[in-house]
């Protein structure tokens, strides 16, 4: 079955196009848009890890290594499409227009971090595994029933394919030809559980067969193949033909979260075959005459300034209301929770 779903790629590890037909589709603007956004989210990601280590953010889920998958797919969306992220897809949501200050606030435990900018259909990050998949199907189905041309993309890891929500979402979307793209980022592990313990299938893409939808396996570290195949999947969805399952094979260089130690279950050799997606794009731009050293410096300075300003704004935000931990959870607060609230407020008053 693995032979039936080969990993599709557009450029090799040295940044040369494998298929010359893509030369007509790639231009200076696309290459620079991809590069800029990948630099931006990587800088955001590294800053967040540093902030967590300093005690200025809560536990954080890094994504370095998966920038091509997140940026390439997010740039392929239309302005009125829906995006349903996991807790690791803030690179995709930032690319799609999420507010950076609020994104940092989310990782600081603030409910304001779940509020998207006006006009942006960005669902709050899903921490429970795979629960966002049926939500995405529902939103896309609603768009279809309203007669719009909008669709939805939902992100998930390989571990989500072991959840019932994954299968229910794909089945419903297939039956009703819902305009949704199922975007799997397969980095080989669900926390410490390797994919061979997750499933007996050779690929995730082949699971599309059971639901009668197209499935494709792509190089998740090649930003071009991610962009073009996601765009193609949305064109298919908008034409009324239904969903597509994309498996982007990638590698996360760091830990599952800042509370995790991947050296306990992963080896350096496992990630050696994956070329840094940002370095790969940089090689491509040099090979084909798109590279500008002065522009690169401007991009890095611009993103660093934006991120430093976002951190300052996040830390200057008014303190959270402690009662938010308890209020608006139940229609009528249970006595036990009311006691906990009062005990907590007494503790705060005593500080």
What residue segments make up the domains of the chain, in order of their start? 7-320, 321-351
**pTM given for the model:** 0.95
Sign of CA dihedral 238, 239, 240, 245: negative
| b (16+ CB within 10 A) / e for 159-186 | bbbebebbbebbebbbeebbbbbbbbbb
**Which of 100, 136, 92 lies closest to 227 in space, CA to CA?**
92
**In whole angstroms, what is the distance from residue 183 CA to residue 196 CA?**
20
**In whole angstroms, what is the distance from residue 233 CA to residue 223 CA?**
15
**pLDDT for the residue numbered 171:** 98
**R_g of the chain computed on alpha carbons:** 21
> Phi and psi for 250 in degrees, rounded to 5?
-145, -165
**SS3 call for 225:** helix
Of 56, 238, 265, 288, which one is the catalytic site residue? 265
Strand partners, 157: 185
Q: Give the H or E element holding residue 83.
A: strand 82-84
Of 256, 266, 280, 290, which one is the catalytic site residue? 256
**pLDDT for the residue numbered 322:** 80
Of 252, 266, 280, 290, which one is the catalytic site residue? 252
Residue 238 annotated to the active site:
no
Tell me the H-state helices in the chain: 28-53, 67-74, 90-96, 100-106, 132-146, 164-175, 195-198, 223-238, 268-271, 277-287, 293-315, 335-349
Residue 256 annotated to the active site:
yes
Sign of CA dihedral 303, 308, 309, 311: positive
pLDDT tens digits in sequence order for the chain, 351 residues long: 677 899 999 999 999 999 888 999 999 999 999 999 999 999 999 999 999 999 999 999 999 999 999 999 999 999 999 999 999 999 999 999 999 999 999 999 898 999 999 999 999 999 999 999 999 999 999 999 999 999 999 999 999 999 999 999 999 999 999 999 999 999 999 999 999 998 999 999 999 999 999 999 999 999 999 999 999 999 999 999 999 999 999 999 999 999 999 999 998 888 888 999 999 999 999 999 999 999 999 999 999 999 999 999 999 999 888 888 899 889 999 999 999 999 998 998 887
| 8 Å CB contact between 220 and 249 | yes
CATH topology of domain 7-320: Rossmann fold (3.40.50)
| 8 Å CB contact between 157 and 199 | no
**pLDDT for the residue numbered 1:** 67
Q: Give the H or E element holding residue 219.
A: strand 215-219
Cα separation values, 135 from 12, 13, 169, 180, Å? 36, 36, 8, 11
Six-digit token string for 312? 């300052």
| 8 Å CB contact between 148 and 80 | yes
């Amino acid at each position: 079955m693995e032979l039936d779903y080969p990993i599709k790629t557009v450029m090799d590890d040295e940044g040369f196009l494998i298929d010359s037909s893509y030369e007509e589709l790639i231009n200076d603007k696309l290459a620079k848009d991809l590069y800029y956004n990948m630099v931006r989210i990587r800088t955001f990601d590294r800053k967040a890890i540093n902030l967590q280590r300093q005690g200025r953010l809560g536990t954080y889920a890094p994504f370095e290594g998966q920038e091509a998958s997140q940026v390439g797919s997010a740039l392929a969306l239309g302005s009125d499409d829906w995006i349903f992220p996991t807790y690791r897809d803030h690179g995709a949501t930032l690319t799609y227009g999420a507010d950076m200050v609020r994104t940092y606030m989310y990782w600081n435990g603030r409910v304001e971090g779940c509020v998207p900018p006006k006009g942006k259909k960005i669902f709050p990050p899903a921490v429970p595994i795979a629960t966002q998949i049926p939500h995405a199907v529902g939103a896309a189905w609603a768009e279809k029933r309203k007669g719009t041309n909008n669709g939805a993309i939902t992100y998930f890891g390989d571990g989500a394919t072991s959840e019932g929500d994954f299968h229910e979402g794909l089945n419903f979307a297939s039956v009703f030809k819902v305009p949704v793209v199922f975007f799997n980022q397969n980095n080989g592990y669900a926390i410490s559980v390797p994919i061979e313990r997750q499933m007996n299938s050779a690929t995730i893409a082949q699971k599309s067969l059971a639901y009668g939808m197209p499935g494709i396996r792509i190089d998740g570290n090649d930003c071009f193949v991610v962009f073009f195949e996601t765009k193609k999947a949305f064109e298919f969805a908008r034409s009324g033909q239904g969903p597509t399952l994309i498996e982007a094979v990638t590698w996360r260089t760091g830990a599952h979260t800042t509370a995790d130690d991947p050296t306990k279950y992963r080896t350096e050799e496992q990630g050696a075959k994956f070329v840094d997606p940002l370095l790969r794009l940089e090689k491509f731009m040099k090979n084909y005459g798109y590279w500008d050293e002065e522009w690169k410096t401007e991009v890095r300075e611009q993103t660093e300034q934006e991120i430093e300003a976002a951190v300052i704004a996040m830390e200057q935000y008014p303190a959270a209301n402690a009662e938010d931990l308890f209020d608006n959870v139940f229609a009528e607060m249970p006595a036990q929770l009311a006691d906990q609230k009062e005990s907590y407020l007494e503790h705060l008053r005593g500080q």
